[in-house]
Amino acid sequence: MNTVKTVRELRAAVARARREGKQIALVPTMGNLHSGHAALVTTAAQQADFVVASIFVNPLQFGANEDLDTYPRTLAADQEKLLQAGCHLLFAPTVEEMYPNGMTGLTRVTAAQLSNELCGSRRPGHFDGVTTVVSKLFNMVQPDLAIFGQKDYQQLAVIRAMVQELNMPVQIISEPTVRAEDGLALSSRNGYLSEEQRALAPALYQHLKAMSQAITAGERNYGALINQHVEQIQALGFRPDYLEVRHALTLLPAQTSDRDLVILVAAFLGNTRLIDNVHLNLDSGL
Ligand code: PAF
């Protein structure tokens, strides 16, 4: 696996693969890779002949008081994991390479409909940062397909909307959330948790599952269900940002007649913000 740091080298390597008739897959990441990322690369390698991964801690998607400076940078370990998972080319640019004109006044991509809800309302500008950098990566690599994890459910929806509405010629493939044995969704930010917080963290998923079971059993008073679980999560020591039952595709607040649902949560444990979700389709028994 080669690592390149410039757009010029990236384009040259991808062009070579194209000339050989290869299908190109892209797995965009911010590094500090775990088994969830490895699963994205494995899927990419099953679906395409040439897998490009990117590692770029994108300043544009971090708020002023967020963890841009402390976000773990672990390039050597990441390279090893990518190689093991079947990656062919790693693009690991600097901030200057990605944003040579700086970030002020930059042309941006906004998926307006979905970006200001949920995480977007708590992290203003976050999804514009994501859609802008993902668009740039798509333009640089021009992949046939790109893989994203379902753990970042809203991000996936925002990217799908961007691709569809801007006619981007790339197929978006989603990969199920990878969880630790105790149910905690793997995340690069889990490393911030203290031992005590780490022991508590899987409770979030337990609550999502309990809500999902209640809805499957017939509960339709989503407001009451949410309030009940918010109180319980708070009592455990979380500071919930939101807990919502939404339509799985539109992400609009769920109506009692909706059958395809997603329950989404964001909650702080200390200074660490955890997100998770559970998808349930009342027609398929998922
Ligand atoms: O999910 C992430 O790691 C990031 O948001 C992404 C998609 C790589 C864009 O920076």
User: How far, rounded to the nearest angstrom, does the alpha carbon of residue 175 sit from its chain's CA centroid?
Assistant: 10
User: Hey, whose CA ends up nearest to atom 8 of ligand 1?
Assistant: 29
Mutate to test the pocket of ligand 1, among 71, 155, 163, 172 (most ligand atoms within 8 A of CB): 155
Determine the straight-line distance between the first and last CA of the chain, rounded to whole angstroms: 38
**188 C-alpha vs ligand 1 centroid, how far in Å?**
11
What is the per-residue burial (b if ≥16 Cβ within 10 Å, else e) of 191-215?
ebbeeebbebbbbbbebbebbbebb
Whether residue 30 is annotated as binding a ligand: the answer is: yes
The dihedral of CA 117, 40, 279, 271: what is its sign? Answer: negative
DSSP 174: E
**145: phi then psi, degrees, rounded to nearest 5:** -145, 155
Q: Which atom of ligand 1 is closest in space to residue 57's alpha carbon?
A: 10
Sheet with 50-55, edge to edge strand ranges:
2-4, 89-91, 50-55, 24-29, 145-149, 171-175
- Note down pLDDT in tens along the chain; length 286 residues: 999 999 999 999 999 999 999 999 999 999 999 999 999 999 999 999 999 999 999 999 999 999 999 999 999 999 999 999 999 999 999 999 999 999 999 999 999 999 999 999 999 999 999 999 999 999 999 999 999 999 999 999 999 999 999 999 999 999 999 999 999 999 999 999 999 999 999 999 999 999 999 999 999 999 999 999 999 999 999 999 999 999 999 999 999 999 999 999 999 999 999 999 999 999 985 4
Please, are residues 58 and 130 in contact by the beta-carbon 8 Å criterion? Answer: yes
